[in-house]
Amino acid sequence: MGDEILVLRLSSFGDVVLVSSFLRDLRALFPGARITFVVREDLAAVAAALPGVAHVVAVPRALGLAGLLSLGAHLARTPWLHVFDLHRSLRSRLLVWRLRARLRPGFDKQELPRFVLLQWRRDVYARFGGARSMRMRLAEPLRRMGLEPTGADTELVLPESARLAAHTALAPLRTPAGPQFVAVAPGARWPAKCWSEARFAALVRRLVVDGGRHVLVVGGPAERELAARVAAAAPAQATALAGTLDWLATAAVLQSCAVVVTNDSGLLHVSEAVGRPVVALFGPTAPQFGYAPYRGASRLLRQPPACSPCSKNGSRPCSRPTHECMDNLTVDAVYAAVDAVLHAESTVAGA
């Protein structure tokens, strides 16, 4: 048996996808190792699609103190070569308590400059080495071990079942000379991070009428009704897929799209992990927090009022009824960004 390495990232959806960058570096640096990934149970299928993961340990969301300590004791029976806690939460620390002799350096959450930016709207990241993307920060434990990670691109290794489900969903929409697919993802975990439904609907109409695109409206089960309403803006050339496919099949659908328009949500990171550029709409959060898109063709749109950022993850309800941070983003601006990405992509394809 080869060396055993344990990696923990319990949540959330987008963060788990971003860990794929760390795992690609880990696999390159320890090519013979077997990687076990510990994650919250509802994200186990996503973790299984991360590169290099041989085994997934699913942690029930409701697992209490005794259960976490028991699971930690079970994990401690394996002679791990390295243990990486890429979450550094109370729950993850309980899981690795018995493994601390094998625990490698953590990553910098940049909590102090984030706190200053949230509390006083002062950007002091430069004093702490500059704002760094989550991909780069996740690689820090390897650097602190004297290794040389690259900060690899994110990646999802999609199973054949996901590709087949995506093919089945898209087959009725394809025609020999049909338009390109463009995806829009109007949902997010927190309402404050969402561009308005009316503006997404207006964007869909514009993409269909002016751009000649077929629009796929994607998301999870919670966005099923929202997606149906947004797609109804152009019923002949927009299809609501939210809630009809699991996350990996949705990722395979996104891989067939020329560009994805998304709020600051997990689907931003899924889209880039399957190689697709995004137009990302940011409002209550800030790119300094590390979740901005990184692919060269992607675009980030943000027109922050004085009160933004107001929350590290968008969970805080908006204190202004106008929701300025998102409503400052116009349909014209978003459409222009989509058009720029499509033009850039077509230029590269034709080169």
pLDDT in tens, 220-243: 999 999 999 999 999 999 999 999
List CB contacts of 322: < 8 A, sequence separation 6 or more: none
pLDDT one-digit tens code per residue, 51-81: 999 999 999 999 999 999 999 999 999 999 9
Q: Which is higher by pLDDT, 211 or 1? A: 211
Residue 1 has pLDDT above 90, yes or no: no
C-alpha distances in angstroms, 118 versus 288, 312, 326? 11, 7, 17
| Helices and strands (H, E) in the chain, number of each type | 14, 10
CATH fit for domain 160-350, picks 1.10.8.640, 3.90.1150.10, 3.40.30.10, 3.40.50.2000: 3.40.50.2000
- Give which of 258, 262, 269, 212 is closest to 242, Cα–Cα: 262
Q: Which is higher by pLDDT, 350 or 179? A: 179
Helix (H/G/I), strand (E/B), else coil: 299:
strand
Residue 89 has pLDDT above 50, yes or no: yes
CA 156/CA 187 separation, integer angstroms: 21
The one-letter amino acid code at 132 reads R
Average pLDDT score over the chain: 94
Residue 135 has pLDDT above 80, yes or no: yes
Specify the pLDDT at position 160.
98
CA 273/CA 20 separation, integer angstroms: 8
- Give which of 340, 330, 341 is closest to 203, Cα–Cα: 330
Task: Write out the H or E segment, with its range, that includes residue 167.
Answer: helix 160-170
Q: 57 and 75 in contact (C-beta within 8 Å)?
A: yes
Helix (H/G/I), strand (E/B), else coil: 44:
helix
Confidence of residue 176 (pLDDT cuts 50, 70, 90): low
Give span(s): CATH 3.40.50.2000, the chain: 4-144, 160-350
Q: 19 and 9 in contact (C-beta within 8 Å)?
A: yes
CA 299/CA 301 separation, integer angstroms: 7
Confidence of residue 282 (pLDDT cuts 50, 70, 90): very high
CA 126/CA 137 separation, integer angstroms: 15
Cis status, amide bond into 284, omega within 30 of 0: no
C-alpha distances in angstroms, 204 versus 216, 280, 299? 9, 16, 18
Residue 307 has pLDDT above 70, yes or no: yes
pTM for the predicted model, two decimal places: 0.95
Specify the pLDDT at position 343.
85
Specify the pLDDT at position 348.
58
Helix (H/G/I), strand (E/B), else coil: 240:
strand
Look up the CATH superfamily of 4-144. Answer: Glycogen Phosphorylase B; (3.40.50.2000)
Residue range 82-98: mean pLDDT, rounded: 96
- Percent of the chain beyond pLDDT 70? 96
Residue range 89-113: mean pLDDT, rounded: 94
pLDDT one-digit tens code per residue, 178-234: 668 999 999 999 999 999 999 999 999 999 998 889 999 999 999 999 999 999 999
CA 46/CA 156 separation, integer angstroms: 8
Confidence of residue 351 (pLDDT cuts 50, 70, 90): very low
List CB contacts of 16: < 8 A, sequence separation 6 or more: 9, 39, 43, 46, 47, 50
Q: Which is higher by pLDDT, 329 or 318? A: 329
Residue range 290-306: mean pLDDT, rounded: 96
Specify the pLDDT at position 346.
64
